[in-house]
Amino acid sequence: MRSSIRLVAVALVVLTTGLVSAQSAPAHAERKVLSRVTPTYPDLARKMHIHGVVRVETLVRPNGSVKSTRVLGGNPVLVDAAIDAIGKWKFEPAPNDTTEVVQLTFEGQ
């Protein structure tokens, strides 16, 4: 009886792990950036000597314009500047929407 319960428990763990892995793998294509806008370094970040990297998942329309963005990581003081800049980028055309991961580095100014 105990071995059958263990077998069922192991099977559930294996199935659950497989489902989580499959759902968390985002589609990622690397479309060339045709037009890039440099983010404005926030005054607060400059005053506080904040620097770092902001990672943004970007959904790009077939025509190359940015449809939506989602922050994956970075200092909250820098995030708005990154989102504003990436929203103005233009990517090369493609047949379908694609998801791009963009990484912007803010260095002390």
Which CATH number, 3.30.420.340, 3.40.1390.10, 3.30.70.100, 3.30.2420.10, labels domain 28-106? 3.30.2420.10
Amino acid identity at 34 = L
Per-residue confidence in pLDDT tens, the chain, 109 aa: 544 444 334 343 333 333 222 232 334 568 999 999 999 999 999 999 999 999 999 999 999 999 999 999 999 999 999 999 999 999 999 999 999 999 999 986 5
CA distances from residue 56 to 16, 31, 93 in whole angstroms, order as listed: 28, 15, 20
**Helix H or strand E encompassing 47:** helix 43-47
CA distances from residue 90 to 17, 36, 81 in whole angstroms, order as listed: 37, 7, 17
Query: What distance in Å separates the CA atoms of residue 106 and residue 57, rounded to the nearest whole number?
Result: 17
Q: What is the pLDDT of residue 13?
A: 36
Q: CB within 8 A of 71, min separation 6: which ones?
A: 54, 55, 56, 57, 79, 82, 83
